[in-house]
Chains A and B, each alone.
Chain A
């Protein structure tokens, strides 16, 4: 279980004044749950993710993973970013094996594990390729495999498919659901794409800001795989959309 307990984050802005990126956010995410954070830029969704990752420190409040406070980055909470996700000087195999290499897992074993996860994301053939030789979609698949290889408790994804074309994005969303259904990691997924959130999430957290706070939490209990044309799906998208519009005061 992942708990955010009244978390506030302030940064020093460019002009020296403190900027509140996140204000008093509380959220509990169950094990195996897939939660999407949506909102427009500046709403604090990425800050929330970075705080969970331990890449930033909360100014107030605390974050607990299974009751243990988050004090810094750890292989328990892997991040998949939108860009520059892979190490360009390492082959695909050695990228995926990176986390295990840090843990001191012997070469033959870590390469075997890396091959397993590369097969899981459908890249068994590309193990010896370098990132620059792969398409954007393939690179993100490798990044997912790399994050899974250390068997983290939580997978944090910061608009991981945001830079991909629509078709590739759709394929990867389906792949992510398939992998998640096999592996059942806790996933926190940041996106500004309403449809993406509705397609993936068990719960959608709608955020507003600055300063960032939670506007609403919507349960999405539609069975998977979800049909983007089904009335229930469209109704869900509509609800998220309405929440965002309420947030931004357009109504």
Chain B
């Protein structure tokens, strides 16, 4: 029977464990009856189902998601925009690599969150609204503090850098030499050979960097100075013992992270030339 519906069977296999876990959760929550420790699933669902409703005195779920997403995208773009050119240079020119490598290796093991106090001391709670006054009135604009953006930048920077360096180093020598004997050099060599040849590894680096940036962000939002975002939301909900909001916030964090990773994996799959038609 199930032989005839392999797709159905696949889904059944995938969904069985999650459904069992959810059922177990709900049963335990009902039996325990302590919503501050283990919220009922329907309470969590009702938070998720009203994403535009104001939560406590912070903004709505959607607004907090938007704050977090804008922060992560800004920090991520900043990281990609600096790490890719530096990685290309370090991968191609041994001289640049010798210059920069030791600094990178010393800075790399420092967890991005260890930078929070210093960055707070430098930048305080200044936000985008300090530069663009018209943003002052919106919760989102006023909440894009530079501190969090810098933390994401630090988190995303190193994976992008290291993968870009590797991407360039793993280019077979023959690609570059063929191109040079066909007359390519300088800028043409860079953008017609080095960049396309290293692109699959660069995109892998971007995917890992975005994932790490996202995790750093949520943690950074729990630090002092934060006034919005999903991390802030679940921390604030903890102080008010609202476990239903905590769990809803965690689910939102997971779903966004999952979506970003999936998007980049699709892009990676398209860049594997071997399978492209």
Contact = CB atoms under 8 A, between A and B. Distances in A.
Interface residues of A, number: 30
Given A87-B178, A130-B274, A132-B274, 7 more contacts: A54-B181, A55-B180, A73-B183, A73-B185, A75-B182, A83-B174, A89-B199
B179 interface: yes
A131 to B, nearest CB: 8
Interface in B164-184: 172-175, 177-184
A81 B180 contact: no
A89 B182 contact: no
A99 B183 contact: yes
Nearest to A99: B182
Interface size class of B (residues with CB under 8 A): 20 to 34
Contacts of A72: 180
A166 interface: no
A73 B273 contact: no
Contacts of A103: 183
B188 interface: yes
17 contacts: A55-B177, A73-B183, A73-B185, A79-B177, A79-B178, A84-B172, A84-B173, A85-B174, A89-B197, A89-B199, A98-B182, A101-B192, A130-B274, A132-B275, A143-B178, A147-B182, A156-B181
Listed residue (A87, A143, A147) with the most chain B CB atoms within 10 angstroms of its CB: A87
Contacts of B181: 53-55, 73-75, 77-79, 156
What does DSSP make chain B's interface, helix, strand, loop or mixed? helix
Interface string B197-211: 101000000000000
Nearest to B273: A88
Contacts of B276: 130
Contacts of A171: none
A73 B192 CA distance: 17
B188 to A, nearest CB: 5
Contacts of A79: 177-178, 181
A9 interface: no
B182 to A, nearest CB: 4
Contact of A150 (B182, B188, B197): B182
A81 B183 contact: no
Contacts of A99: 182-183
B223 to A, nearest CB: 43
Listed residue (B180, B185, B274) with the most chain A CB atoms within 10 angstroms of its CB: B180
Contacts of B193: 87
A120 to B, nearest CB: 17
A95 to B, nearest CB: 9
Contacts of B192: 98, 101-102
A57 interface: no
A102 B183 CA distance: 7
A110 interface: no
Interface string B147-163: 00000000000000000
The list of the 8 closest CB pairs from A to B, nearest first, reads: A75-B183, A99-B182, A84-B172, A84-B174, A73-B180, A132-B274, A88-B273, A102-B183
Given A73-B177, A79-B178, A102-B188, A132 B183 contact: no
A146 interface: yes
Interface in B40-97: none
B254 interface: no
Contacts of B224: none
Contact of A87 (B175, B183, B185, B277): B175
A150 B181 CA distance: 10
A42 B197 CA distance: 30
A99 B178 CA distance: 10
Contact of A88 (B179, B183, B274): B274
A150 to B, nearest CB: 6
B196 interface: yes
B174 A87 contact: no
A81 B177 contact: yes
Interface string A47-77: 0000001110000000000000000111101
Nearest to A78: B181
Nearest to B177: A55
Interface string B237-277: 00000000000000000000000000000000000011111
